[in-house]
Amino acid sequence: MLHYDLGDCLRSCGNPEGEDADLDRVNFNLAYCGAVLRGYLPEVAPFFSPFDYRYIYDAVRLIAFELGLRFFSDHLAGDVYFKSRREGQNLHRAMIQFALCQSIEAQEREIRKIVEDFQKL
């Protein structure tokens, strides 16, 4: 459960453009990711195992992809779960999350390095 919450926090904070952004402006922000982890990881260090650190990247990637699937599924179902203000909004939100997932994947090495640097403290 801890990784889902942290992954969702990083997904949300790492996407300052938001869920209704222009698709070509979506980029996972490493500086924001580092800032969140700088405040969070020292607090959980007493009970975090090496495996907990290892799965932080996987958590943020998975949550972005999962949310993209949920938005897309809701779009296909007729927008019954996520409220939308316009037709196609949940499809657009899905595309934003998939683009965010791609950005996260493209920066995997950097994200893992941020986590590794905090793990050494």
Q: Which two tokens stand for residue 17?
A: 């453009």
pLDDT tens digit sequence for 11-63:
999 999 888 889 999 999 999 999 999 999 999 989 988 899 999 999 999 99
* CA trace torsion 62, 63, 66, 70 (10° rounding): 180
Are 37 and 114 within 8 A, CB to CB? yes
Cα–Cα nearest to 97, from 1, 4, 14: 14
Neighbours of 70 (CB within 10 A): 16
pLDDT at residue 54, as a whole number: 93
Whether 98 and 65 have beta carbons less than 8 Å apart is answered as yes
